[in-house]
Amino acid sequence: MANKPRVKLPKSAKAGEIVQIKTLASHDMETGNRKDKKGNKIPRLILNKFSCSFKGEELFGATMHPSVSANPYIAFSITAKESGTYDFTWTDDNGEVTKVSQDMSVS
């Protein structure tokens, strides 16, 4: 991805609190149905997988398909349990993985 995805999660939370996480990736999400000026099909290249994990355990995941619009925005909620680093990964059709990590302290 040319531009780094944006992730917003609270810096700190109370244990058991439900926190909202927002993510915004920057991607063309080429559907594979379009043609270029010469009439050749533009190959499909989308982000097909999103995952939010904590210490290797997946907390939230999404599988995306060609109808998802460009620059997918995904917001979801999790229950804060432990302090640590939360990892966010996006995987595209070529297998390229973009990873962003952010810390949240839970008291």
Partner 1 sequence: MNFKTIITTIAVLGTGITLAACQMDAYQAPNPNGSELWSGYKTATAETRAMQDDDFANPGMPMVDSAAALYNKKDGEANMSCADCHGAVDDPKGGSKGLPMKGVSARYPVYDADTKKPINVELRINKCRTKYQKAKEYKYESDAMLGMTGLIALQSRGIPMMSTADNPSDELNAAWKAGEAFYYERRGQLNMSCKHCHEDHQGELIRAEVLSQGQSNGFPTYRLKWSKLGSLHRRFRGCNGNIRAEPYGYGSDEYLNLETYLAWRGRGLPMEGPSVRK
Q: Match 């609190």 to its residue by tokens.
A: 17
In the complex with partner 1, the residue whose CB is nearer, 13 or 25, is 25
Residue 26 touching partner 1 (CB under 8 A): yes
Distance from C-alpha of 34 to C-alpha of 41, rounded to nearest angstrom? 6
- Stretch in the footprint of partner 1 (CB under 8 A) among 18-26, 39-47, 54-62, 87-95: 18-26
- Among 15, 34, 63, 70, which residue sits at the site for partner 1 (rule: CB under 8 A)? 70
Q: Are 66 and 46 in contact, with CB atoms under 8 Å apart?
A: yes
Residue 62 touching partner 1 (CB under 8 A): no
- Stretch in the footprint of partner 1 (CB under 8 A) among 10-18, 21-29, 43-51, 85-93: 21-29
- Among 55, 73, 85, 97, which residue sits at the site for partner 1 (rule: CB under 8 A)? 73
Burial 33-66 (b: 16+ CB within 10 A, else e): eeeeeeeeeeeebbbbebbbbbeeeebbebebee
